[in-house]
Amino acid sequence: MGGHKYREIKMKTFLLMTGSGPLMILTSHGAIENSILLDKLLAKGIDKFIAYEVPFDLAEQRYGWHFNVVANDLHETDDLRVLDYNGDRAFRMFSFSEIGNAHIHEPTPLERSVA
């Protein structure tokens, strides 16, 4: 596929608003509430967030070459990549009219007590 092997894997992009600021993630999971994805986010210290799905093609267009590099490094066994740690850039790159509705996630009281 000429350098775009990530096209073989169905992926989604999400803008996450977290306690430490916004970041953009790329994942092969179909939903932000996927339990495996939530475990991976928790391992990165992210247990509470507001997520907005960003259209895949729009994220690819805005991030350009960097998107291709990150996406081509995504494998079935490594199904989460941070596309942008720069919260200011990630937040300003998309208008709210271009992204999906807010999805709020926070740990249950039981999950909080275990953490």
pLDDT confidence of residue 24: 95
Task: Indicate if the pLDDT at residue 77 is higher than 70.
Answer: no
- In the block, residue with structure tokens 């803008």: 15
The CA distance from 26 to 84, in Å, is 9
pLDDT at 93: 93
Q: Is the pLDDT of residue 2 over 50?
A: no
> Structural domain of residue 53, as residue ranges?
5-114
- The token pair at 42 is 């928790």
- Per-residue burial over 46-56, b = 16 or more CB atoms within 10 Å of its CB, e = otherwise: bbebebbbbeb
Please give the residue that has the higher pLDDT: either 52 or 114: 52
**Number of neighbouring beta carbons within 10 Å of residue 21:** 13
Residues of 93-104 as b/e, b for ≥16 C-beta within 10 angstroms? bbeeeebeeeee
Confidence of residue 74 (pLDDT cuts 50, 70, 90): low
Element (H, E) at 21: strand 21-27
Number of domains in the chain: 1
Q: How confident is the model at residue 8 (pLDDT cuts 50, 70, 90)?
A: low
**pLDDT at residue 1, rounded to an integer:** 42
pTM confidence score: 0.83
Which range is least confidently modeled, 45-49, 89-93, 105-109? 105-109
